[in-house]
Amino acid sequence: MSAPDPTTAAAAETETLSRLYRGLLRIRRAEEGILELLLKNKLSSTMCHVSIGQEAVAVGVCDALQPDDYVTSTHRGHGHFLARGGAMSALMAELMGREAGACRGRGSSMHLVDASIGHLGSNAIVGGHIPIATGAALWTALRGEQRVVAAFFGDGATSEGIFHESVNFAAVQRLPIVFVVENNHWAMSLPWAKATAQPSIEVKAEGYGIVGVDVDGQDVLAVRAAAREAVGRARRGEGPTLLGLSTYRFLGHSRADPSSYRDKAEEEQWRLRDPVVLTRNLLLARGLSEGWFDEVDRDVAAEIATAVEVAENSPPASLNEVFSDIYATPLEGTR
Amino acid sequence: MTKTLTPPRTVTYREALREALFEEMEADDRVIVMGEDVGKYGGAYAVSKGLLERFGDRRVIDTPMSEALIVGAALGAAAVGARPVAEIMYMDFVTLAMDQLVNQAAKLHFMFGGQLSAPMVVRVQQGVGRGAGSQHSQSLEAWFAHVPGLKVVAPSTPADAKGLLKSSIRDDDPVLFIEHKGLYARKGTDPGREHTVPIGVAEVKRSGVDVTVVAWSNMVHTALAAAELLAGDGTDVEVIDLRTIAPLDMQTVLASCRRTGRLLVAHEACVTGGLGAEIVAQVAEQLHGQLHAPARRIATPDVVLPANTTLERALVPDADAIASAIRDLVRS
């Protein structure tokens, strides 16, 4: 094979990086917008966990997936939803408790879903969706499909028993799944060092007989590259991967949390590694103009403004359906 | 078909369940069976015997001892198109899978705006009879009746076991399918191939005018035996088999109580917070002033069940105890 044309290769890389940057910025600005809406009492629930600082995890992993693949997500899942291709208006309307929301206004921040793009739901029980993702991978493998499942969960979830049960079963069955450990180093107030005596995801994976990697989760290109390898392995039938992505939530666990348990110097160090800024710098170095960044800013702002407008014009969630929609199969016998 | 004099074929409860699994797996390749020892071993109570040989290890999946994973993976598979039947060996072990059943499966359809559903069955068995002890004998159905989104059934006969299992597999919601370890060898009429029983419909097993006894699972047979004991005294007992625990078919129960004016609920689960409390409460709320006597429960007392068949027998209501409770009700 001849060496690729350096100019073309560089242009392709710039294009990829531009796409990733746009993805990062959409999440960042959307969540900033969500926090504003929260302050204005425009959200339907008080529960709201933003992923500001962690965007490269969602964007890098989802960029490595194909349209038919599946993802499952967490209580901190706005980013996963948007990166997977969920509509901005479905997110905003959901948070505002409207019929046009992803869950028709029933789920709010912690429960987002879009089955049409393989987003199988974000879950408010830490680790609770890991076996569900595993089951989706089981079915896709039994059917001989080419789909891969990416299960996002935090460092906290690795302390749950269900993490072990799921990873172990997926390893035994060589299921097409990527377990994405979105390690923001703090399970609410508990630091990673107090949650595990073995901080390396790579080493943890060895115990299950599968591949594990420890990757810089602030570097969107590194995340994407590692995710592509893991997804490829899964698609080739070579089994699951534990994809450890080291990241940091810049804000508290939730709005109620000033994160007083964290060292301010630690927070400042991590803020120097803001994935939006890092990616922007890479693009600047590649010669993208300020004008280009302004245009992306305007696009994203317009998308969010339109989404909020769609949400505000959507009817509120139905109270009647709270009673009528409990079951998928209505009872013949209920009389 | 020519008429023959052959008596109707009988099957055991175990065989009826197995036939339901065979038939549904043959009819629909989305139906898979998964759990501990369900394959070559054939299931702890031999219900899935022969399934592995017939359908292979892609549809009959032996899992590690991971109850939460079994239920959760069944749920994940169900969410993307499978119709899994998961087996949890003992009801007591469902405690290990509570999150998946209660927070996940029960919520999936409503919480995600109807985009996803969970067409799955979790088969469990419960109850006394083998001296299985404190951690293998509990009757925990009331817990799950308390969780909207789940359907809970507890058949008492081979025909209902088959019919309800087929209905449960075809249902698009998560069904907790409760068997009883004392019922597997029980024989009954073979209902034939295409037999289904609707979820949510109780059955009057014996008509009577003096008192209504509501029971389910193995206790139905004890209640029927008690009714026979009293028949000689001229007390005419109506026995209702709930068949479905959640949602409750209160219409059948209320209609019967209106006729008889007396209610006794008999269950094997311990008395406090048992399903009997709910049924008695609903009857009291809706038939106040129409009853001839206060509605009552008879149940296992609030004890930790010992692994000792003599003690076990002394604690769980038998036909004599139920008959005695009925006599008290009729006298009052």
Contact yes or no for B68 and A115 at CB 8 A: no
Question: Which residue among A121, A131, A172 sits closest to B68, beta carbon to beta carbon?
Answer: A131
Nearest CA-CA distance, residue B49 and chain A, Å? 21
Query: Is pLDDT at B1 greater than 80 in this prediction?
Result: no
The residue in chain A having the minimum alpha-carbon distance to the alpha carbon of residue B58 is A142
Query: Is pLDDT at A335 greater than 80 in this prediction?
Result: no
Q: Per residue in A133-163, pLDDT tens?
A: 999 999 999 999 999 999 999 999 999 999 9
Domain definitions of chain A by residue range: 17-315
Contact yes or no for B72 and A115 at CB 8 A: no
The residue in chain B having the minimum alpha-carbon distance to the alpha carbon of residue A144 is B58
pLDDT over 90, % of chain A: 90
pLDDT over 70, % of chain A: 98
> Could you confirm whether B136 is annotated as catalytic?
yes
Query: Is pLDDT at A3 greater than 70 in this prediction?
Result: no
Tell me if chain B has a CB within 8 Å of the CB of A130: yes
Query: Is pLDDT at A5 greater than 80 in this prediction?
Result: no
Q: Per residue in B281-328, pLDDT tens?
A: 999 999 999 999 999 999 999 999 999 999 999 999 999 999 999 999
Q: What is the pLDDT of residue B8?
A: 79
Q: How far apart are the first and last CA of chain A?
A: 72
Contact yes or no for A120 and B116 at CB 8 A: yes
Q: What is the pLDDT of residue B90?
A: 97
Domain definitions of chain B by residue range: 10-189, 203-331
On the CB side of A299, CA atoms within 13 Å amount to 13
Contact yes or no for B69 and A331 at CB 8 A: no
The residue in chain B having the minimum alpha-carbon distance to the alpha carbon of residue A135 is B73
Residue of A69, A70, A334 for testing the chain B interface, max B β-carbons within 10 Å: A334
List CB contacts (< 8 A) between A162 and chain B: 68-69, 72, 99-100
Contact yes or no for A101 and B99 at CB 8 A: no
Q: CA-CA distance, B68 to A167, in Å (whole number)?
A: 12
Residues 24-63 of A with CB under 8 A from B: none
List CB contacts (< 8 A) between A161 and chain B: 68
**What are the structure tokens assigned to B252, written together?**
């059948």
Catalytic entry in B67, B87, B179, B278: B67
Residues 142-181 of A with CB under 8 A from B: 142-143, 161-162, 165-166, 168-169, 172
Nearest CA-CA distance, residue A108 and chain B, Å? 10
The residue in chain A having the minimum alpha-carbon distance to the alpha carbon of residue B74 is A135
Considering the segment(s) A17-315 as one domain, its CATH architecture is 3-Layer(aba) Sandwich (3.40)
Q: Per residue in B97-106, pLDDT tens?
A: 999 999 999 9
Q: CA-CA distance, A74 to A132, in Å (whole number)?
A: 12
Contact yes or no for B66 and A329 at CB 8 A: no
Widest CA span of chain A, in angstroms?
74
Confidence band, pLDDT 50/70/90 cuts, at residue A331: confident
Q: Which residue has the tokens 């060292």?
A: A263
Q: What is the pLDDT of residue A330?
A: 82
Contact yes or no for A326 and B149 at CB 8 A: yes
The residue in chain B having the minimum alpha-carbon distance to the alpha carbon of residue A322 is B110
Contact yes or no for B117 and A128 at CB 8 A: no
ipTM for the predicted complex comes to 0.95
Q: CA-CA distance, A36 to A137, in Å (whole number)?
A: 38
List CB contacts (< 8 A) between B74 and chain A: 135
List CB contacts (< 8 A) between A334 and chain B: 200, 247, 249
Asked whether this chain's domains B10-189 and B203-331 adopt the same fold, the reply is yes
Contact yes or no for B111 and A106 at CB 8 A: yes
Confidence band, pLDDT 50/70/90 cuts, at residue B111: very high
Q: CA-CA distance, B61 to B52, in Å (whole number)?
A: 8
Q: CA-CA distance, B106 to B151, in Å (whole number)?
A: 9
Confidence band, pLDDT 50/70/90 cuts, at residue A334: very low
Confidence band, pLDDT 50/70/90 cuts, at residue A332: low
Query: Is pLDDT at A333 greater than 60 in this prediction?
Result: no
Confidence band, pLDDT 50/70/90 cuts, at residue A6: confident
Q: Per residue in B236-285, pLDDT tens?
A: 999 999 999 999 999 999 999 999 999 999 999 999 999 999 999 999 99
Residue of A95, A153, A166, A329 for testing the chain B interface, max B β-carbons within 10 Å: A329
The whole-chain average pLDDT of chain B stands at 96
Q: How far apart are the first and last CA of chain B?
A: 54
Tell me if chain B has a CB within 8 Å of the CB of A131: yes
Q: What is the pLDDT of residue A4?
A: 64
Confidence band, pLDDT 50/70/90 cuts, at residue B217: very high
Q: Per residue in A246-299, pLDDT tens?
A: 999 999 988 788 889 999 999 999 999 999 999 999 999 999 999 999 999 999
Residue A49 burial (C-beta neighbours within 10 Å; 0-12, 13-18, 19+):
buried
DSSP secondary structure letters along B159-226: HHHHHHHHHHHHSSS-EEEEEETTTTT-EEE---TT----TT--EEEE--SSEEEEE-TTHHHHHHHH
Distance between alpha carbon B304 and the CA centroid of its chain, in Å? 21
The DSSP H or E segment spanning A252 is none
Q: How many CB pairs lie under 8 A apart between chains A and B?
A: 165
Q: Per residue in B23-57, pLDDT tens?
A: 999 999 999 999 999 999 999 999 999 999 999 99
Q: Nearest 5 degrees, angle CA B84-CA B129-CA B218?
A: 60
| CATH class of domain segment(s) B203-331 | alpha beta
Tell me if chain B has a CB within 8 Å of the CB of A326: yes
The whole-chain average pLDDT of chain A stands at 95
Q: Per residue in B147-202, pLDDT tens?
A: 999 999 999 999 999 999 999 999 999 999 999 999 999 999 999 989 999 999 99
Contact yes or no for A102 and B113 at CB 8 A: yes
Q: What is the pLDDT of residue B170?
A: 98
> Could you confirm whether B180 is annotated as catalytic?
no
Assign a CATH topology to domain B10-189.
Rossmann fold (3.40.50)
Contact yes or no for A142 and B32 at CB 8 A: yes
> Which has the higher per-residue pLDDT, A5 or B63?
B63
